[in-house]
């Protein structure tokens, strides 16, 4: 069974901390994405990557950075966590042949910044 695995289901961090959210996929997918999901706002794209070492800003990149050193791993970094970054974070991947097969999502990480 193909999988996208996010390292933590729940995280509680303090304001100002540097936070790492890890995502690993075992499908050999080229494309990987980080979204945050908030009630009433739906999924909003933070960053994406179409290849190793490649990264592109999504719609709401401010306060975040990413790293993709290996094809299977895409990390989201909150440089200095703030309370408005409390949210559900979803990682997704898709094949490089186009998005026509849709995304496979991870189970999500619910981050609370206090």
Partner 1 sequence: GQNIDQPTEMTATEGAIVQINCTYQTSGFNGLFWYQQHAGEAPTFLSYNVLDGLEEKGRFSSFLSRSKGYSYLLLKELQMKDSASYLCAGLPYGQNFVFGPGTRLSVLP
Could you say whether residue 103 binds partner 1 (CB under 8 A)? yes
Out of 48, 64, 74, 89, name the contact with partner 1 by CB under 8 A: 48
User: CB under 8 A: which stretch of 15-23, 66-74, 78-86, 98-106 binds partner 1?
Assistant: 98-106
Q: What is the DSSP string of 65-107?
A: EEEEEETTEEEEEESS--GGG-EEEEEEEE-TT-GGG--EE--
For partner 1, which is the closer residue by CB, 76 or 108? 108
**Taking Cα atoms as reference points, which of 10, 15, 9, 36 lies closest to residue 92?**
36
Q: Which residues contact partner 1 (rule: CB under 8 A)?
A: 4, 33, 35, 40-45, 48, 58, 90, 98-100, 102-108
């Amino acid at each position: 069974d193909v999988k996208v695995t996010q390292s933590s289901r729940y995280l509680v961090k303090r304001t100002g901390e540097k936070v790492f959210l890890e995502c690993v996929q075992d499908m050999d997918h080229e494309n990987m994405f980080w979204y945050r999901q908030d009630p009433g706002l739906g999924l909003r794209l933070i960053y994406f990557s179409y290849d190793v070492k490649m990264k592109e800003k999504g719609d709401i990149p401010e306060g975040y950075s990413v790293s993709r050193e290996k094809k299977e791993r895409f990390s989201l970094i909150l440089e200095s966590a703030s309370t408005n970054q409390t949210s559900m974070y979803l990682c997704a991947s898709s094949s490089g042949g186009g998005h026509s097969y849709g995304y496979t999502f991870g189970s999500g990480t619910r981050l609370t910044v206090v």
